[in-house]
């Protein structure tokens, strides 16, 4: 995970059109200092003036060290995040950023890398492509959009022969052939995918027989429902406090209601900011971050969405 800094003040210094319903937003620190360094796959928290906090992937790790750029698509079902940003944020607005964090790191030593992006999932994938191109690595990208106006970074991508575009509307409605792409890749390749849930499901299915550690995935939204069964106790080892988690509440809600100082952001199991060390007990993992091996080891858990299979969880808090 990328080193995380305390939230810091920034100014929105530019808004640029990237594709239909998608803009690029550039931020710079008010104090003029460089941004915390990032690696491809990293995302930041944007603390919005309406009290919301949202996570967005950075589009480049190779550009101006004094600026962060994120690509944001206006979601028609927006609950106030992307809609607020598109409709209300103006160049010059001051707000706070948190992070960066990286739950989707790039293995730069892979013999070959296959990048798959769907829609706005292009943002971390494009960041990775720029890095691989700079390294002179062996890589390919498959970028799928419903219609051509939705394609972002088209000028840059069209100069790269190893980028293949798939436009659903121009392919007789056929979706990107993910099993075919996986089957055609050289042995030992690493795969990365970010896109809508149906694409991620198809990707998980197509890559399930790959060697462990070769399949990498980034979710923007929760895949599983939060654990709300309750009926277990949680003990905080450092403070000695103990709480009962009732049905209908997450562990995070119980701790927050009790005034325990815990960090969190997305509350959907996708950002990693609430990751907490487990001392004993068996978590019921519901996040999209831990790998299968990490879930089995249960050294940590995301307390915003995961619960407990044991009667007692002891956490390093
Ligand atoms: Fe984002 Fe828990 S708050 S994973």
**Could you tell which of 43, 250, 272 is best to mutate to test the pocket of ligand 1, judged by most ligand atoms within 8 Å of the CB?**
272
Q: What would the pLDDT profile of 294-304 be if each residue is shown by its tens digit?
A: 999 999 999 99
* Cα separation, 105 vs 189, whole angstroms: 15
Q: What would the pLDDT profile of 161-215 be if each residue is shown by its tens digit?
A: 999 999 999 998 789 999 999 999 999 999 999 999 899 999 999 999 999 899 9
Band of pLDDT at residue 1, cut at 50, 70 and 90:
very low
Residue range 113-218, CATH number: 3.40.50.80
State the closest ligand 1 atom to the C-alpha of 264, by its place in the atom list counted from 1: 3
Q: What would the pLDDT profile of 25-38 be if each residue is shown by its tens digit?
A: 999 999 999 999 99
Above 70 in pLDDT, residue 3? no
State the closest ligand 1 atom to the C-alpha of 302, by its place in the atom list counted from 1: 2
**Could you tell which of 99, 223, 267, 283 is best to mutate to test the pocket of ligand 1, judged by most ligand atoms within 8 Å of the CB?**
267
Say if CB 23 and CB 15 are below 8 A apart: yes
- Which residues in the chain are classed under CATH 2.40.30.10? 5-101
Q: What is the pLDDT of residue 64?
A: 93
Q: What would the pLDDT profile of 98-113 be if each residue is shown by its tens digit?
A: 989 999 999 999 999 9
- Which residues in the chain are classed under CATH 3.40.50.80? 113-218
The share of the chain scoring above pLDDT 70, in percent, equals 98
Question: Rounded mean pLDDT of 22-51?
Answer: 94
Above 70 in pLDDT, residue 2? no
Q: Considering only the C-alpha atoms of the chain, give the largest distance between any 2 of them, rounded to a whole number of Å.
A: 61
Least Cα distance to 101 among 264, 256, 250 occurs for 264
Q: Which residues line ligand 1 (CB under 6 A)?
A: 264-267, 269-274, 287, 302, 304
What architecture (CATH level 2) is domain 5-101? Answer: Beta Barrel (2.40)
**Could you tell which of 43, 46, 302, 306 is best to mutate to test the pocket of ligand 1, judged by most ligand atoms within 8 Å of the CB?**
302
* Cα separation, 56 vs 59, whole angstroms: 9
Band of pLDDT at residue 5, cut at 50, 70 and 90:
low
How remote is the CA of residue 100 from the centroid of ligand 1, in Å?
A: 14
How remote is the CA of residue 252 from the centroid of ligand 1, in Å?
A: 9
Question: Rounded mean pLDDT of 250-264?
Answer: 94
State the closest ligand 1 atom to the C-alpha of 265, by its place in the atom list counted from 1: 3
Q: What would the pLDDT profile of 51-80 be if each residue is shown by its tens digit?
A: 888 899 999 988 899 999 999 999 887 777
- Which residues in the chain are classed under CATH 3.10.20.30? 232-315
**Could you tell which of 98, 274, 288, 294 is best to mutate to test the pocket of ligand 1, judged by most ligand atoms within 8 Å of the CB?**
274
The protein residue with its alpha carbon nearest to ligand 1, atom 4, reads: 269
Q: What would the pLDDT profile of 142-160 be if each residue is shown by its tens digit?
A: 999 999 999 999 999 999 9
How remote is the CA of residue 242 from the centroid of ligand 1, in Å?
A: 22
Query: Which is the CATH superfamily of the domain at 232-315?
Result: Beta-grasp domain (3.10.20.30)
Q: What is the pLDDT of residue 16?
A: 97
Of 267 and 283, more confident: 283
Q: What is the pLDDT of residue 192?
A: 98
How remote is the CA of residue 311 from the centroid of ligand 1, in Å?
A: 23
């Amino acid at each position: 995970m990328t080193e995380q800094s305390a939230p810091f003040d920034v100014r929105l210094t530019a808004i640029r059109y990237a594709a239909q319903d998608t803009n690029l937003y550039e931020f710079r620190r008010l104090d003029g200092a460089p941004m915390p360094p990032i690696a491809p796959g990293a995302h930041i928290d944007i603390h919005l003036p309406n009290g919301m906090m949202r996570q967005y992937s950075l589009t480049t790790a190779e550009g101006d060290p004094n600026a962060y750029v994120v690509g944001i698509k206006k979601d028609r079902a927006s609950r106030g995040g992307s809609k607020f940003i598109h409709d209300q944020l103006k160049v010059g607005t001051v707000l706070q950023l948190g992070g960066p964090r990286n739950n989707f790191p790039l293995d730069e030593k892979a013999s070959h890398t296959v990048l798959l992006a769907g829609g706005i999932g292009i943002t971390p994938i494009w960041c990775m492509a720029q890095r691989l191109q700079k390294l002179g690595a062996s890589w390919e990208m498959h970028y799928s959009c419903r219609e051509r106006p939705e394609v972002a970074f088209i000028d840059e991508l069209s100069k790269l022969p190893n980028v293949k575009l798939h436009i659903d509307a121009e392919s007789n409605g056929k979706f990107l052939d993910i099993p075919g792409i996986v089957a055609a890749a050289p042995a030992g390749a690493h795969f990365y995918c970010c896109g809508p849930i149906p694409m991620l499901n198809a990707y998980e299915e197509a890559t399930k027989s790959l060697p462990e550690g070769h399949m990498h995935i980034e979710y923007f939204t929760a895949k599983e429902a939060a654990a709300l069964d309750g009926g277990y106790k949680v003990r905080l080892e450092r403070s000695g406090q103990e709480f009962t988690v009732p049905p209908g509440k997450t562990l995070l809600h119980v701790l927050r209601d009790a005034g325990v100082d815990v960090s969190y952001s997305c509350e959907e199991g996708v950002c990693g900011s609430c990751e907490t060390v487990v001392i004993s007990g068996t978590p019921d993992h519901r996040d999209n971050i831990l790998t299968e091996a990490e879930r089995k080891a249960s050294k940590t858990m995301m307390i915003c969405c995961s619960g407990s299979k044991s009667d007692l969880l002891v956490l390093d808090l």
